[in-house]
Amino acid sequence: MQYLNENECIPQCLETTIKDVSVLHPYFDINFQGIKPKNCCGFLSIDNESYFIIPKITDCNSQNLNIFIYMLMYGYDIKLKNEDIMQGVNAEYQILELFIRLFSDALLDEFKKGLFKQYITMQENLKMLRGKYIIEKNFNNFYHQNIYCEYDEFSMDNELNRFFLYAINLFKRYSSYSNLYRCEAVLDEVSYFNIDFKTININFDRMNSRYKKSYEVALMILKKLIPLTQKGDDRSFAFLFDMAEVYENFVGRLYKDIDSTTQLQKQANFGSLVLKPDIITKSQIIDTKYKKVNYRENLSVQDKYQIFVYGANFKVKDTMLLYPKHLVDIDDNLELGKGDDLIKLKLKSLDLEFDGGYGEFVSEIRNRLEKF
């Protein structure tokens, strides 16, 4: 197991692989000085070697890995068993393995309560009439002793279960976890199809809502998983997270915990202007920024305009840009506009350093946020 820091050049042994695999290019800065992760963290498994890309929060790599996993768990509302948390933070499992175990356990628990079925419209040549007789198809029915019928069947072979079967088959390439195979056995009557998970949109209602969490976890894994090769026994892959997204999700859920009226990614239309701030609390608008700003002169004009437009249109006078302290420590105040249009802007950095368990970490970071 090797640790790689998010802002440091990767070792030469990985450079060729990253240069040759185009799907990895969006996650890395590649130039004549070397190759650095581009605000991404996660796991790489290449030629049976394991690499963790971790945020540089402290001088202790294992502690940085713990904090990263804690942020993932809380930000994406991932509820792992205590033993899985301990094994994960001690790097006994790959991060991908942890999420596959979570998905498999949750899905199997729901299967035990009853498999989701829904009515599916079927058309088939039958010996006896079932459902509706299809006149136009029976005129040219090759099987003259049969009747072409259309009927509804209460079936497990539906879109949601096909998605689960597709996810299970893909995850089996990277995990031999027993519950993954148990879930596959339950879906023995479901047809296998390749699923375009980037466009899939399952509608959830009272009949299938208990499967929503399993669906969301599987979809998240599929979107973060990058297969690199499938040659022979080589199962090289990347499982990478955009740290801007991780940080936004983590801070957003903390504010929801602090104040249940907090709104995340609230979209509103102001004429032809569509705005979606990261976080709106009862007293301020907060935008998370996973980047370095050492002092107010570093603040981009675009960021100033963005936060001013948020405040002016949502009629919120107090705003904040929130940075992670491990990238920079900043505490400053600005005024944007004047008179009735004045928007107050705070620049703050959130200290993520902590040495302890998951629950204590979440509680401590929440307390730090409450002081802003």
**SS3 assignment for 62-126:** HHHHHHHHHHHHHHCCCCCCHHHHHHHHCCCCCHHHHHHHHHHHHHHHHHHHCCCCEEEEEEEEE
9 in any annotated domain = yes
Q: Are residues 299 and 339 in the same domain?
A: yes
Higher-confidence residue of 234 and 296: namely 296
Alpha carbons 263 and 108: distance in angstroms, whole number: 32
Give the end of a domain, one of 198, 213, 243.
243
Q: Is residue 248 in some structural domain?
A: no
Same domain as 287, residue 218: no
Rounded distance between C-alpha atoms, residue 16 and residue 52, angstroms: 18
Output the furthest CA–CA distance in the chain (Å, rounded): 86
Domain identity same for 65 and 182: yes
Is 193 in the same domain as 318?
no
Phi and psi torsions of 56, nearest 5° = -90, 80
What's the confidence (pLDDT) of residue 93?
59
Given 106, 129, 155, the domain boundary residue is 155
How many percent of the chain have pLDDT more than 70?
90
Query: For residue 250, is it within any domain?
Result: no
Least confident of 53-62, 106-115, 123-132, 147-156: 123-132
Give the model's pLDDT for residue 187: 94
Q: Is residue 42 one of the residues assigned to a domain?
A: yes
Cα–Cα distance for residue pair 34/47, rounded to 1 Å: 21
Q: Is the pLDDT reported for residue 83 higher than 70?
A: no
Residue 249 lies in a domain: no
Average pLDDT over residues 214-243: 85
Is the predicted pLDDT of residue 129 greater than 70, yes or no? no
Residues 208 and 352 occupy one common structural domain: no
In a domain, 175, yes or no: yes
Average pLDDT in the 35-44 region?
90
Statement to judge: residues 217 and 362 lie in one domain: no
Kindly state whether residue 253 falls inside one of the protein's structural domains. Answer: no
Q: What is the pLDDT of residues 49-61, one digit of tens each?
A: 888 999 989 989 8
pLDDT band for 143, please (50, 70, 90 cuts): low
| 293 φ, ψ (degrees, to nearest 5) | -140, 105
Same domain flag for 176 and 279: no
Is 105 in the same domain as 130? no
* Entry pTM: 0.83
Asked whether residue 232 carries a pLDDT value surpassing 60, the answer given is no
Q: Are residues 239 and 333 in the same domain?
A: no
136 and 216: one domain? no
Residue 251 forms part of a structural domain: no
Domains of the chain: total? 3
State which of 101, 130, 155 marks the end of a domain: 155
> What pLDDT shows up at residue 139?
63
What are the E-state strand segments in 102-200?
118-126, 132-133, 147-155
- The answer on pLDDT for 254 being more than 90 is yes
CA angle 40/197/168 to nearest 5° reads: 90
Does residue 244 carry a pLDDT above 70? yes
232 and 315, same domain (yes or no)? no
**For residue 42, what pLDDT is reported?**
92
Predicted confidence at residue 185, as pLDDT, reads 95
Which structural domain, as residue segments, surrounds residue 296? 259-370
122 shares its domain with 67: no
Q: Categorize the per-residue pLDDT at 134 as very low, low, confident or very high, splitting at 50, 70 and 90.
A: low
